[in-house]
Amino acid sequence: MKKIFYLLLSTLVISACTNANPEDKEKEKFIDNLMSKMTLEEKAGQMNQYNGFWDATGPMPEGDYQKKRYEELKNGQVGSMLNVIGVDQIRALQKIAVEETRLGIPLIFGHDVIHGYKTIFPIPLAESCSWDLELMQKSARVAATEASADGLHWTFAPMVDISRDARWGRVMEGAGEDPFLGSLVAKARVSGFQGENLSDTNTIIGCAKHFAGYGFSEAGRDYNTADFNEYTLHNSIMPPFKAAVDAGVRTFMNSFNTIDEIPATGHTNIQRDVLKGDWDFDGFIVSDWGSIEQMIPHGFARDGEHAAELAVNAGSDMDMESSLYVSKLVDLVKNGKVKIETINDAVRRILRVKYELGLFDDPYKYCNNERSKKELASEENMKVALEAGMKSIVLLKNDKSLLPLEKNGNKIALIGPLATDKNSPLGNWRSQAVYNSASSVLEGMKNNSENKISFAKGLDLYYGQTNFHNRVKVNYDDRSGFEKAKLIASKSDVVVMVLGEEGHQSGEGRSRTNIGLPGLQLELLKEIHKVNKNIVLVVMSGRPLDLTWEDKHIPSILQAWQLGSKSGDAIANVLFGDYNPSGKLTMSFPRNVGQVPVYYNFKNTGRPSTSIEQVTNSGYADVENSPLYSFGYGLSYTSFSYSNLSIDNDNMNKTSSIKASIELSNTGSRKGKEVVQLYIRDVVGSIARPMKELKGFKLIELNPGESTTVEFEIDNSLLEFYTYNKKWESEPGNFQLFIGGNSNVSEYKEFNLTD
Ligand code: BGC
């Protein structure tokens, strides 16, 4: 009954949009016509996606497996391919689809363009710390321009999973722990990838992933079971996905985890009821890699046929690499387990997106070698990478104002395995980046200053070459470089140490139970600290690390993540003060791994703890509940003060609004930028509410001595949440409003909401 309802609903949606505008009418008419000619086998073929499987510009594929896929391609049984790289390869495969299949339906080519294509930008988590939405839109735009110039139509990004657990390696791909910021970042990235008009040759289709709840993998272990309630799903996990739909994203990818014990790929409620129903999404959903077949080990599907049946009926439109739609759907329809209307709906969605890309007008429109040569890794694109790199850095500590460093007259010891590493800064999911192509910190520092810089690696962080598929082999025993490093440190005015994670220590399948500096790095840092206390620690990592010892002993700490192609230049510009750091954390840094998941928008519990000494309260015996560095935190080389928090009215109703303001002053001696943050607490709700929720922010730049009034408008929409009634609505009552430079801000004003 439910299924019939959805099919009816999607037909209604289609006819509603058919009625809505002539272009849509034309598009749907074209698709009707095409679909009327398609056999069931060809329809199942459109729903099948394969990984690039042979060198299409070379000889015919060898081996049964390859040959079978090639035959399927020629028979119109493949609708999309991923990971086919380069104009020539894409053109060659497209030619087979267009010229050799019966109906000549073009393929759509997808790839993970996560933080750049050839020009690599900071990993998304880093870039979100800029809080600069325009910048994030711009870097996605550049990535799309490069990917499309190389023949691609579709990126599997943005990843909009909310992440609260630093053990999970994939935190690097998202925008951190907050749904409000995450929603704005999702919108910026989708707009950047998709541009103004999808049929422009410099745009690509975006894909909001992983739908949904993948970031909640238990114990931070990748692909693990996730357990959260319906309110967490709607209030914390869903908002960035909804924002992506509102921004016009054309595809979704589902996720590997379960929701309410049902694998997301086979989850009717989130895919059909919510996404395609409540949210009116008329693009298509691709499964995650093999996730249809993986419903078998999940213990949800009996076999491949059952898995295909469950997935398609639940709303998964395209099968990435399970090969089950192409092999099972025809029979499933014939024996009545899957309705032809279900298949038609999925195929229509896929063809719609191909139509919007303009592939039916010109299937080779993105295949332009000239463009590819000119636009990939251009000087202009690299400038955006540098800007993004500088803006993503977060200054965590600067006690003795050791930073910024003087440009000359200093003896600097540069120490650490990552100081000359030109590969790690490219991070994971680096697409077409050339191996070892990032600028290193040593290069950046040499280009930027006249100081005498001596370098010692101190240790090897890892052995061998690393890549997406292998585990990084960490050095746990070779300390032979320590002595040289200690010697140069002892003879220097200041030591810059570059430590952290190798570029493939975070990302997919890279969960860690120990989130300290890997290998012998902390030991090296302690040794150097014995001979020189003037240490600036530059941390490169794909996740928040446990920096508790470092925070206690090291005067200056810069969180430099993995910043991409211009990493070393960006870091040097910050070290020497050419750029005054303005980044703020979008994910909390725990005091130790035992604290995770730790996040700012937690709930109070019935026994909130305020100190370690309290025994029967919700706290630990060994560390405070608060993280080491909280969400929203980050320092500058100047200082800011906040005063005169005020609201123009302490009463509002659901149709009125109030204004809140605060005075911000630059009290230091440099020009600087501050991310002014608005938080609201809904004191009593029909369900327990978070202690604070981000509800606005502004980037304000001030000269030394300058002050300004920063204002926010609060209306009913900011107070809504998914209530006990299972509806998005606000609830009358008392609210607290905070404005400050991080999520720890404590001063507040109260206001009341009435109906
Ligand atoms: C990942 C996705 C990715 C896909 C294709 C999967 O393993 O979970 O995020 O888009 O592979 O590369």
Whether 10 has a pLDDT exceeding 70, the answer reads no
Q: Which of 161, 165, 282, 288 is catalytic?
A: 288
Q: Are residues 468 and 584 in the same domain?
A: yes
| pLDDT computed for residue 20 by the predictor | 65
Does 194 reside within a domain? no
| pLDDT computed for residue 15 by the predictor | 46
Q: Is 178 a known active-site residue?
A: no
Percent of residues, the chain, with pLDDT higher than 90: 94
Residue 518: pLDDT band by 50, 70, 90 thresholds?
Answer: very high
| pLDDT computed for residue 12 by the predictor | 46
Residue 482 has which token pair? Answer: 């320590």
Helix (H) or strand (E) holding 259: strand 258-259
Nearest residue (by CA) to ligand 1, atom 12, is: 112
| pLDDT computed for residue 57 by the predictor | 83
Residue 465: pLDDT band by 50, 70, 90 thresholds?
Answer: confident
Whether 605 has a pLDDT exceeding 50, the answer reads yes
DSSP per-residue codes, 359-410: TTT-TTTTB-HHHHHHHTT-HHHHHHHHHHHHHH-EEEEETT--PSPPSSS-
Does 106 reside within a domain? yes
Q: Containing domain of residue 669, as a range?
A: 640-754
CA of 564 to the centre of ligand 1 (A): 20
In whole angstroms, give the CA distance from residue 40 to residue 331: 10
| pLDDT computed for residue 58 by the predictor | 85
Which atom in ligand 1 lies closest to the alpha carbon of residue 83?
12
CA of 288 to the centre of ligand 1 (A): 6
Q: What is the mean pLDDT of residues 599-617?
A: 96
Helix (H) or strand (E) holding 37: helix 22-37
Which atom in ligand 1 lies closest to the alpha carbon of residue 214?
8
**Phi and psi of 182, rounded to 5°?**
-55, -35
Residue 275 has which token pair? Answer: 């996404």
Does 506 reside within a domain? yes
Q: What is the mean pLDDT of residues 187-208?
A: 97
Does 122 reside within a domain? no
CA of 209 to the centre of ligand 1 (A): 9
Q: Are residues 392 and 502 in the same domain?
A: yes
Which atom in ligand 1 lies closest to the alpha carbon of residue 207?
10
Nearest residue (by CA) to ligand 1, atom 4, is: 289
Query: What would the pLDDT profile of 378-400 be if each residue is shown by its tens digit?
Result: 999 999 999 999 999 999 999 98
In whole angstroms, give the CA distance from residue 242 to residue 472: 36
| pLDDT computed for residue 54 by the predictor | 86
**Higher-pLDDT residue of 687, 470:** 687
Q: What is the mean pLDDT of residues 524-553?
A: 98
In whole angstroms, give the CA distance from residue 493 to residue 74: 68
Q: Please name which of 146, 71, 92, 84 lies closest in space to residue 114, comparing C-alpha atoms.
A: 146
Beta strands 80-82 and 108-111 are parallel
Q: Are residues 405 and 538 in the same domain?
A: yes
Counting beta carbons within 10 angstroms of the beta carbon of residue 685, is it exposed (0 to 12), middle (13 to 18) or buried (19 or more)?
middle
Coil vs helix vs strand at 323: coil
CA of 407 to the centre of ligand 1 (A): 44
In whole angstroms, give the CA distance from residue 667 to residue 645: 17
Q: Are residues 401 and 275 in the same domain?
A: no
Nearest residue (by CA) to ligand 1, atom 2, is: 288
Query: What would the pLDDT profile of 551-585 be if each residue is shown by its tens digit?
Result: 999 999 999 999 999 999 999 999 999 999 999 99
Task: Tell me which of 84, 287, 508 to substitute to probe ligand 1's pocket, judged by most ligand atoms within 8 Å of the beta carbon.
Answer: 508
Half-sphere exposure of 517 (CA within 13 A, CB side): 27
In whole angstroms, give the CA distance from residue 318 to residue 308: 10
Residue 7: pLDDT band by 50, 70, 90 thresholds?
Answer: very low
Does 606 reside within a domain? no
Query: What would the pLDDT profile of 532-543 be if each residue is shown by its tens digit?
Result: 999 999 999 999
Does 75 reside within a domain? yes
CA of 287 to the centre of ligand 1 (A): 9
- One-letter amino acid of 331: D
Q: Are residues 526 and 461 in the same domain?
A: yes
| pLDDT computed for residue 60 by the predictor | 82
Query: What would the pLDDT profile of 638-659 be if each residue is shown by its tens digit?
Result: 999 999 999 999 999 999 999 9
Number of domains in the chain: 3
Nearest residue (by CA) to ligand 1, atom 11, is: 289
In whole angstroms, give the CA distance from residue 198 to residue 202: 8
Nearest residue (by CA) to ligand 1, atom 5, is: 289
Q: Please name which of 357, 468, 490 lies closest in space to residue 411, comparing C-alpha atoms.
A: 490
Does 89 reside within a domain? yes
Question: What CATH number corresponds to the domain at position 684?
Answer: 2.60.40.10
Q: What is the mean pLDDT of residues 6-24?
A: 56
Which atom in ligand 1 lies closest to the alpha carbon of residue 159?
9
The alpha carbons of the chain give a radius of gyration, in whole angstroms, of 27
In whole angstroms, give the CA distance from residue 91 to residue 200: 18
Q: What is the mean pLDDT of residues 486-502?
A: 98
CB 376 within 8 A of CB 150: yes
Beta-sheet strands, E only, within 473-550: 473-474, 494-500, 535-540
Q: Are residues 577 and 491 in the same domain?
A: yes
CB 427 within 8 A of CB 600: no
Which atom in ligand 1 lies closest to the alpha carbon of residue 156?
10
CB 226 within 8 A of CB 233: no
Residues with CB under 6 A from ligand 1: 82, 112, 156, 209, 288-289, 508
Q: Are residues 400 and 329 in the same domain?
A: no
CA of 52 to the centre of ligand 1 (A): 14
Q: Please name which of 408, 431, 434 lies closest in space to residue 423, comparing C-alpha atoms.
A: 434
Q: Are residues 422 and 513 in the same domain?
A: yes
Beta-sheet strands, E only, within 73-162: 80-82, 108-111, 154-155
Q: Are residues 314 and 355 in the same domain?
A: yes
Q: Are residues 358 and 395 in the same domain?
A: no
Please give the model's pTM, rounded to 2 decimal places. Answer: 0.97
Question: What CATH number corresponds to the domain at position 501?
Answer: 3.40.50.1700
| pLDDT computed for residue 432 by the predictor | 97
Q: Helical H runs in 266-378?
A: 268, 304-314, 324-334, 340-356, 369-375
- Residues 6 or more apart whose CB falls under 8 angstroms from that of 501 comprise 424, 518, 540, 541, 542, 543, 545, 562
CA of 214 to the centre of ligand 1 (A): 12
| pLDDT computed for residue 19 by the predictor | 52
Whether 4 has a pLDDT exceeding 60, the answer reads no
Residues 73, 77, 78: CA angle, nearest 5 degrees: 65
Q: Are residues 356 and 401 in the same domain?
A: no
CA of 289 to the centre of ligand 1 (A): 6
Does 603 reside within a domain? no
Q: Are residues 35 and 104 in the same domain?
A: yes
Nearest residue (by CA) to ligand 1, atom 8, is: 288
Question: Between the CA of residue 373 and those of 87, 146, 147, 313, 377, what are the distances in Å?
Answer: 10, 10, 12, 44, 9
* Average pLDDT over the chain, rounded to an integer: 96
Question: What CATH number corresponds to the domain at position 233?
Answer: 3.20.20.300
- One-letter amino acid of 423: N
Which atom in ligand 1 lies closest to the alpha carbon of residue 157?
10
**Any idea what DSSP says for residue 106?**
P
